[in-house]
Amino acid sequence: MQVHHKVLVLAALLAGCSSSDPTSTTDAPTGPGDGRPGMDFTSGSRLKARYLVAEDGSRTLLGWHDSMLDVNCSFQLAEDGARRCLPEDLRPSSIRAFSDASCTNEVFYVSSTCDPTPPAYVGMYIHSTVFFEACANTIGIAVYKLGPESVLSSSYGQVVGGTECDGPHAGTSTESRFFTGTHVPPETFVKMTEEVVDP
């Protein structure tokens, strides 16, 4: 009986992007993956494969590097319901933070302990109307690019999708830092599609 293997194929949205650090990524086809047909890992025009390389020359796929954005990324559910290569270490939250009591000026919390150097991007869990009705317990991630730091005397919170503004809470401290941020459209990130491949 013929067996079909499902493989996930990367759809590179943009071509001609710059390559990444050759010490951690590669532009060349890299297979075989796990030895089965259709499972080779291949760098694309934008996403470059990252490897762990052993002393004896063996290697295994570690992940991907987005050479256009110059960030390591992994495939996660984005806010539009698609699987996209979103920046790693987004530490998405379901609680939104604000600098004002009316919860209109949004800021983004960064832990000084977990991230002594602020990341370039942060994530917020979001109930996307694209797929929410079909699967109510599934939520995607909205991505924000961090801007300048905001030193706050107090902060306020709101659950994603909620309306109640809670606070005030402690503001900027040795542990808690807040930054402005700009929403990044999900189409910015490379999308993954699923394809059935015959052996």
Q: How many DSSP H helices and E strands does the chain contain?
A: 0, 14
Same domain, 106 and 181: yes
66/76 Cα distance (integer angstroms): 14
Q: For 11-40, what is the mean pLDDT?
A: 41
Give domain status of residue 61, yes or no.
yes
Same domain, 143 and 101: yes
The DSSP secondary structure of 101-142, one letter per residue, reads TTS-SEEEEEETTT-SSPPSEEEEEE--TTTTTT-TT--EEE
Same domain, 169 and 87: yes
**Domain end residue (candidates: 68, 89, 120):** 68
**Domain end residue (candidates: 45, 68, 91):** 68
pTM for this one? 0.74
Same domain, 91 and 151: yes
| Residue range of the domain that includes 146 | 77-190
Same domain, 34 and 90: no
Token readout for 19 is 């390559």
Same domain, 94 and 180: yes
Q: Give the count of domains, the chain.
A: 2
Give domain status of residue 137, yes or no.
yes
Q: For 113-122, what is the mean pLDDT?
A: 91
Same domain, 84 and 180: yes
106/40 Cα distance (integer angstroms): 43
118/176 Cα distance (integer angstroms): 11
Confidence of residue 197 (pLDDT cuts 50, 70, 90): confident
pLDDT tens digit sequence for 48-105: 999 999 999 888 899 999 999 999 999 999 999 899 999 998 999 888 999 999 999 9
Same domain, 7 and 43: yes
Same domain, 129 and 33: no
**Domain end residue (candidates: 43, 68, 93):** 68
Give domain status of residue 45, yes or no.
yes
DSSP state for residue 42 in the 8-state scheme: B
Give domain status of residue 82, yes or no.
yes
Cβ proximity of 199 and 34 under 8 Å: no
Give domain status of residue 196, yes or no.
no
Asked whether residue 148 carries a pLDDT value surpassing 90, the answer given is yes
Least confident of 58-72, 132-146, 173-187: 132-146
Same domain, 56 and 152: no
Q: Please enumerate in sequence order all residues whose Cβ is within 8 A of that of 109, keeping only pairs 6 or more positions apart, or say none.
A: 93, 97, 155, 176, 177, 178
Give domain status of residue 140, yes or no.
yes
34/73 Cα distance (integer angstroms): 21
Give domain status of residue 195, yes or no.
no
Same domain, 62 and 81: no
Same domain, 91 and 184: yes
